[in-house]
Amino acid sequence: MRIVVLGAGFGGLELASRLSDAIGDALDCTLIDKADAFVFGYSKLDLLFGKSSADAIRIPYSDLAKLGVRFRQEEIASVDPAARRVTTDLETYDADVLVIALGADYDTAATPGLDDGGAEFYSFDGAVRARDRLASFTSGDVVIGVCGRSFKCPPAPSEAAILLDEYLRDRGVRDATTITLVMPFGVPIPPSPDTSHALLERFAGADIRFVADHRVASYDADGGTVTLDDDSTLPCDLLMAVPVHRAPEVVEGSGLTENGWIPVDRGTLATRFPGVYAVGDVTSVGTAKAGVFAEGAARVVAEQLIAQIRGGDAPAPYDGKATCYVEWGDDLVGRVQVDFFSGPSPTGVFSQPSTAITEEKAQFGASRRARWFAA
């Protein structure tokens, strides 16, 4: 069985690693990504606020040594899901099973003024540029603004606001600045009222303004204002933006998407094309867009493929559950355990920030790095 996996993020790495660990000697898996290194999404905040260097958070794919898995650093040019054929800038691959794990791309051009004067901090390169902008920022109004309706890692904008407050205080310039957080939700973490309440209290204590149920529509750097989706404006000397998310163009051109994302069976992650699956942020499965959800979905796909190869019962369906960590400042981390599918609406159980959860988050990253990259 020739398995081709597009994208080496949480979903692609988890899928390839589980297959390798279970059936390595019999595995024929090609893992393709245009990047040369993996970066945990949450580590971009460490980069943004000078807690880690760019080199420290990059894990080169050359370190990947999983039996039966071939990594190819190539740009994907086209995907034919009916034929299960992938063409890159270097080669063509035909698959018996094709898994799309390409995540979501950032469309900064969709927000007028963002490319000209703003700073998106969600990409690796964007976090580097935003870090450099922050280094010389000593006074004025900062807006941390979400530009689209759907975005990766719902806690991240709140974390950025909290860590920015800490960063400016450590530099002794916080009293000369304001911080405003603009989000398209009524509360910071909709599935978890307790998490949202705790965050709102944290914002109040740090003098962070929370603007609910709005998105940033445009930015006028010269005029020092952001315009929201209701045409109201806010003063803004520095826009730190969560850009509009979209499926990669190569996925949009493949015929896989509907309403912008790939629809999949919620339990199996199968697309409407036989032998083609999709996991993670590129899908409309119904969970938040976050690496831990991609990991859980990839686990289910891996178990299905292992059962097909070895014979055996199909695994339990994807459950839409995951644990997300929330940076709280002062080296403390909180936790929210989210369940998207069990009830009529998503739920989340909050654990108060503690040093124990800070250590737990560090172990989370270390365990994934060891599982995905160790032989």
pLDDT tens, residue order, the chain (375 aa): 999 999 999 999 999 999 999 999 899 999 999 999 999 999 999 999 999 999 999 999 999 999 999 999 999 999 999 999 999 999 999 999 999 999 999 999 999 999 999 999 999 999 999 999 999 999 999 999 999 999 999 999 999 999 999 999 999 999 999 999 999 999 999 999 999 999 999 999 999 999 999 999 999 999 999 999 999 999 999 999 999 999 999 999 999 999 999 999 999 999 999 999 999 999 999 999 999 999 999 999 999 999 999 988 889 999 999 999 999 999 999 999 999 999 999 999 999 999 999 999 999 999 999 999 975
Q: Give yes or no: residues 93 and 158 share one domain.
A: no
What pLDDT is attached to residue 374? Answer: 79
Contact 341, 335 (CB under 8 A): no
Where is the domain boundary, 244, 267, 299? 244
CA distance 86 to 58: 27
Report which of 264, 268, 265, 263 is spatially closest to residue 316, judged by C-alpha positions. 268
CA 375 to chain centre: 26
Residue whose structure tokens are 């976090």 = 127
How many domains does the structure of the chain reveal? 2
Return the CATH number at 121.
3.50.50.60
Per-residue burial over 241-257, b = 16 or more CB atoms within 10 Å of its CB, e = otherwise: bbbbbbbbebbeebebb
- Same domain (yes/no): 179, 237: yes
Instruction: Classify strands 208-211 and 177-182 as parallel, antiparallel or unpaired.
Output: parallel
Q: Which of 244, 274, 301 is the last residue of a domain?
A: 244
Nearest by Cα to 164 from 130, 197, 200: 130
Distance CA 149, CA 214 (A): 9
CA dihedral 37, 304, 265, 287 (to 10 degrees): -50
Same domain, 36 and 95: yes
Residues 6+ apart with CB under 8 A from 176: 138, 139, 140
* Same-domain pairing of 263 and 310: yes
Structural domain that includes position 185: 107-244
**Structural domain includes residue 117:** yes
- One-letter amino acid of 231: D
Within a domain: residue 214?
yes
Instruction: Tell me: do 231 and 266 sit in the same domain.
Output: no
| Co-location of 100 and 111 in the same domain | no
Instruction: Please indicate, yes or no, if residue 158 is contained in any of the structural domains.
Output: yes
Q: Are residues 76 and 116 in the same domain?
A: no
Does residue 186 share a domain with residue 76? no
Per-residue confidence (pLDDT) for residue 375, from 0 to 100:
57
Question: Where is the domain boundary, 275, 290, 318?
Answer: 318
User: Is 357 within a domain?
Assistant: no
One domain for residues 164 and 204 = yes
Q: Is residue 124 located within the same domain as residue 45?
A: no
* Residues 133 and 179 occupy one common structural domain: yes
Q: Is residue 127 part of a domain?
A: yes
Task: Measure the CA–CA gap between 174 and 254, rounded to whole angstroms.
Answer: 48
